Amino acid sequence: MPKMTFIEPNGTRHEVDAPLGLSVLEVAHKHGLDLEGACEGSLACSTCHVIVEPEWFDVLNEASEDEEDMLDLAFGLTKTSRLGCQIIISEELDGLAVRLPGGTNNAMR
């Protein structure tokens, strides 16, 4: 089974199993990690924003226009920011590492 690593804002690393076909958001929830996902993965918010480690960013499929629009609302946006609900685990992503930002902008509240 593929693995992935979540890196908390304080630097704590969590290497977890990442079942094929699940999104990064779903993997985080499965392991009790603090990644909000207020819209439950429907691409209607930016609360599942993650910062992909640079060496993994070009391995991902390109973000859709809808994802780019939502990313504009994300807290702490970077050049390697993506929405966790839009990254689907595949064999190619075995070892993926993402950082959790220090906060979220939740327009859903």
Say which CATH number the domain at 88 has. 3.10.20.30
| Chain centroid to CA 7 | 11
pLDDT at 95: 98
Give the residue ranges of the chain where pLDDT is below 70. Answer: 103-109
How far apart are alpha carbons 99 and 75 in whole angstroms? Answer: 13
Beta pairing, strands 3-7 & 96-99 = parallel
pLDDT at 102: 81
Q: What single-letter DSSP state applies at residue 23?
A: B
Residue 22 identity: L
Tokens representing 92 are: 């190619």
How many domains are contained in the chain?
Answer: 1
Contact 53, 82 (CB under 8 A): no
Q: What angle do CA 94, 18, 99 make, to 5 degrees?
A: 80
Radius of gyration of the chain (CA): 12
User: Could you tell me the residue range of the domain that residue 53 belongs to?
Assistant: 3-99
pLDDT at 105: 58
40 found inside a domain: yes
48 found inside a domain: yes
Average predicted confidence (pLDDT) for the chain: 93
Tokens representing 16 are: 């977890």
pLDDT at 86: 98
pLDDT at 75: 85
